[in-house]
Amino acid sequence: MRRSFTLCSIVVHAVVITAALIAQVVADGALPTPHRPTIFDNSQFMPVDVKMPRPRVAPQPRTSDGPTVSGSTAPVVAPPGLTQETGREGDVSSPVVDSPIGAGSGPPSDIPGAGIASVPPPPPPEPVRPIRLHSGMQAPVKTIHVAPLYPMMARQARIEGVVILEAVLDDQGRVESVRVLRSIPTLDQAAVDAVRQWRFTPAPLNGQPVPVVMTVTVNFTLR
């Protein structure tokens, strides 16, 4: 059954193909003309008029009492708050007081010291350090002498000798401080108390009195 169906199918297909070939051979008339290809190089395009938008113009400012002012026009009137040049803008050592342009303008007159530049006071001069008395200086002269009080313990022990001290004098010849260089323990304090009460003439240096450091001696002698 299946074999007979296959044979019938082959016969039908052969008949259909044979009929198609015979129909093409027997048919009369010209063959159809193929379409002509379009050549884009020779084609003409229709021009289109495209209008560009107009550029935007910024609105010009208008003054309340004058004509329209353009933003690119150079100003001919000084703006408010502009100060006059003094020629010392780059000088930082001297303060400059700003004065607005225009008559009647300036700080209020009822404020004390208004418009006056405040200059800081100069720093106080550094104190002159005492210098040691040397041969090129005139030695101070003692104007007030106070004799030392002989300590009772040293008198009873019959202690004698010379106490050497270093005294610092100010520019007026007053004794500021005393330091013991050569000591006799029982006599040191008496010598220091006496030298603190001494007074000298000022020691000049280049015509100006200066503080000095000098060496003094106190002699303790029993009579």
Report pLDDT digits (tens) over 143-195.
Answer: 999 999 999 999 999 999 999 999 999 999 999 999 999 999 999 999 999 99
Phi then psi for 8, rounded to 5 degrees? -60, -40
Kindly state the average pLDDT of the residues 95-122: 57
| pLDDT value of residue 101 | 46
Residue identified by tokens 């803008």 is 89
Query: What is the pLDDT confidence band of residue 205, given thresholds at 50, 70 and 90?
Result: confident
Yes or no: is domain 139-144+151-220 CATH 3.30.2420.10?
A: yes
Q: Which of 37-46, 74-83, 116-125 has maximum average pLDDT?
A: 116-125
How distant is the alpha carbon of residue 152 from its chain centre? Answer: 70
Report which residue type is found at 57.
Answer: V
Q: What is the share, in percent, of the chain residues with pLDDT greater than 90?
A: 35
Give every CB contact of residue 137 below 8 A, 6+ residues apart in sequence: 203, 204, 205, 212
The overall longest dimension of the chain from CA atoms, in Å, is 182
pLDDT in tens, 10-47: 888 888 888 877 877 776 666 566 666 655 555 555 66
Task: Check if the beta carbon of residue 222 is closer than 8 Å to that of residue 160.
Answer: yes
